[in-house]
Amino acid sequence: MELTNEQVQQVENYLDNKSFDFIDLKLEILDHLISDIESFIDKGFSFDNAFKATVLKWDKHFKDSSSFYFGLLYSESKIVVKKAVKIFKPFYFLYLTAYFLPLIILKKFSFTFSINTIDYFDTLLNTLSVIFLIYLIYIIVKVFKSKVKTTYSFILRTQYLGVVFLIIPLLSGKHFNDKGEMNPIFTGFLLAGFAVTYICFYFYKKHKDAIKKYKISYS
Amino acid sequence: MGNQKLYKGSLQTIILKLLETNDKMYGYEITQKVKELTKGELKITEGALYPALHKLEADGLLDVEIAKVGNRLRKYYKLTESGSKETANKLEEMQEFLKTMQHLVNPKLSLE
């Protein structure tokens, strides 16, 4: 038996009370909850009892949860964190590779550059860092100001500390030591910073796409 | 109920196979179909189903379609072109796996 509009609203209120307002997830979770309730009603339950039984089954999915991938400070409903982890995992490894690979290579092998090359690279890397930093800050501000939440905006909110990776080498201004060798730590920081910028660019695009897709559906 | 852990690694293959057979499906429908086909032996929880669906969607193997059904919206999943190819690969892998397990667990029943 199909629920009435008032009953559907009651189910939606339950999600709102759980602060479950992720636009990319709400639609299908609401549909699943309603389908569960309808199935209980078909078995002879009253709406109130069917609703209670469904809530009992679903409550655990809305409990606050966090993940090692984002840091324990960032928590959200378990169902949101699970989706975020599944999507973010490959990017987390990109992040680690961007930091540790140059670090290991430059510690093992030393590459010496001439003064002219050093000047050229210092200017190039500093310019790129400034451009990426501005773009990263722009995304962070946009996401923090946005009233619409998606799983992607949750991921983006956990990435803002990544600006540190760009700021530290930028403050030093030099990516080479006195012998003309690349600084392994700063290079690792810089590439991790570039990786964070790419990750933020990717998820910000996903966030905007999700808003477009689901806002049209809701309207 | 059987051992749910044994099925865990096959969830994506199960979803892809169902979508290959049924064209388009929504989350609740997938859980019910699996329950029905396995006579209640396998119950996919929401906590496992949605992350798996979203990963397949993010990987470009599933496409989504949103439709109004009665007084609510419903999100349908269907295979993309690369999803169809991946389904064939996954099913082949699964057949190989089952064959190997058969050799290990019950060699006398193995055909080869």
Same domain, A81 and A123: yes
Q: Minimum mean pLDDT among A201-210, B38-47, B78-87: which range?
A: B38-47
Give the chain B residue nearest A12 (alpha carbons): B72
Quick check: A31 and B74 CB within 8 A?
yes
Q: Indicate the average pLDDT of chain B.
A: 88
Quick check: B71 and A3 CB within 8 A?
yes
Q: What is the pLDDT of residue B3?
A: 65
Q: Which of residues 88-107 of B touch A (CB under 8 A)?
A: none
What is the 3-class SS of chain A, one letter each residue? CCCCHHHHHHHHHHHHHCCCCEHHHHHHHHHHHHHHHHHHHHCCCCHHHHHHHHHHHHHHHHCEEEECCCEEEEEEEHHHHHHHHHHHHHHHHHHHHHHHHHHHHHHHCCCECCHHHHHHHHHHHHHHHHHHHHHHHHHHHHHHHCCCECHHHHHHHCCHHHHHHHHHHHHHCCCECCCCEECHHHHHHHHHHHHHHHHHHHHHHHHHHHHHHHHHHHC
Domain residue spans of chain B: 4-107
Same domain, A108 and A179: yes
Inter-residue contact A62 to A79 (CB < 8 Å): yes
Residue B75: enclosing H or E segment and its boundaries? strand B72-79
Same domain, A37 and A136: no
Same domain, A52 and A74: no
Domain that holds residue A116: 67-218
Q: What is the pLDDT of residue A109?
A: 82
Same domain, A40 and A104: no
Same domain, A57 and A83: no
* Chain B residues near residue A56 by CB distance under 8 angstroms: none
* Chain B residues near residue A213 by CB distance under 8 angstroms: 64, 66
DSSP letter at B106? -
Same domain, A91 and A71: yes
Quick check: B50 and A218 CB within 8 A?
no
pLDDT digits (tens, 9 = 90+) for A43-98: 999 999 999 999 999 999 999 999 999 988 899 999 999 999 999 999 999 988 99
Residue B1 has pLDDT above 60, yes or no: no
**pLDDT-derived band of residue B111, with 50, 70 and 90 as boundaries?**
low
Q: What is the pLDDT of residue A214?
A: 84
**pLDDT-derived band of residue A118, with 50, 70 and 90 as boundaries?**
confident
Q: Which CATH architecture has domain B4-107?
A: Orthogonal Bundle (1.10)
**pLDDT-derived band of residue B77, with 50, 70 and 90 as boundaries?**
very high
Q: Which of A62, A77, A106 is the last residue of a domain?
A: A62
Same domain, A112 and A57: no
B64 three-class SS: strand
How many structural domains are present in chain A?
Answer: 2
Same domain, A113 and A136: yes
**pLDDT-derived band of residue B109, with 50, 70 and 90 as boundaries?**
low
B54 touches chain A (CB under 8 A): yes
Neighbours of B18 (CB within 10 A): 17
* Chain B residues near residue A32 by CB distance under 8 angstroms: 27-28, 46
Same domain, A42 and A149: no
Same domain, A113 and A99: yes
Residue B23 has pLDDT above 60, yes or no: yes
Same domain, A56 and A17: yes
Closest CA to B47 of A2, A51, A161, A86: A86
